[in-house]
A = this chain, B = another copy of it.
């Protein structure tokens, strides 16, 4: 059986940016099931027609076609119950954390990297992205992103729940990572993949956790190509 995950890519098809697709890939890796992460672009909606909607991630797992990152996690939990659970604290607490990442975390990160995202996309995707996101933000992407250094304090303060949790255990899920960790890690990987701007201070426990997460599953995230030079990230 070939499992296929449709996975948002940048102009360089090796660069995979979607936070929601990263959640799905980490959940698949957690369950230890092999998959092909097939590159997909925003403007290739017809390629997802079989799924009845137009967004990634979409997982094709045998007969099952599952869209939406949380639905994919639920599917994996049901389809592969013998592997370690994705939800050691129950589905509801994991959903709480994932929705916090969807809203607080992604909103804060988006305003710091949205122009960098656009710059990494290919022509048709960049045009789509600019038009839809400028309508959402009510301004030019470069203006939304401008002054991001000034927002770092508020952004870092918004991470208080994650930082407090990491004072209790190495991972949000406890001694080993699970879906709550993947939901948040996907967002940081999104920013890291397409921007040289690092929103975390080097001495933040969240930074150390992010590095632990990046090393998981043979460096699934650490080995992933970026749209920016590694050397730029050190600046």
Contact B174 A90 (CB under 8 A): yes
* CA–CA, A91 and B102, complex, Å: 22
A235 adjacent to chain B (CB < 8 Å): no
A168 adjacent to chain B (CB < 8 Å): yes
Distance between A61 CB and nearest chain B CB, rounded to angstroms: 21
Contact A90 B164 (CB under 8 A): no
Chain A binding surface, main DSSP class? helix
* CA–CA, A55 and B91, complex, Å: 35
* CA–CA, A171 and B162, complex, Å: 21
Distance between A200 CB and nearest chain B CB, rounded to angstroms: 17
A89 adjacent to chain B (CB < 8 Å): yes
Contact B95 A96 (CB under 8 A): no
Contact B95 A93 (CB under 8 A): no
* CA–CA, A186 and B162, complex, Å: 20
Contact A91 B161 (CB under 8 A): no
On chain B, the residues within 8 Å of A93 by CB distance are 89, 93, 97, 165, 172-174, 180
On chain B, the residues within 8 Å of A90 by CB distance are 88-89, 168-169, 173-174
A153 adjacent to chain B (CB < 8 Å): no
* CA–CA, A96 and B100, complex, Å: 10
On chain B, the residues within 8 Å of A163 by CB distance are 99
Contact with A169, one of B91, B100, B173, B174 (Cβ below 8 angstroms): B91
Measured CB to CB, the nearest residue on chain B to A97 is B96
Known contacts A88-B90, A90-B88, A100-B100; is-contact A95 B164 (Cβ 8 Å): yes
21 pairs across A/B with beta carbons < 8 Å?
Answer: A88-B89, A88-B90, A90-B168, A90-B169, A91-B169, A92-B166, A92-B169, A92-B171, A92-B172, A92-B174, A93-B165, A93-B173, A95-B164, A95-B165, A95-B167, A95-B168, A96-B165, A96-B180, A99-B161, A99-B165, A100-B161
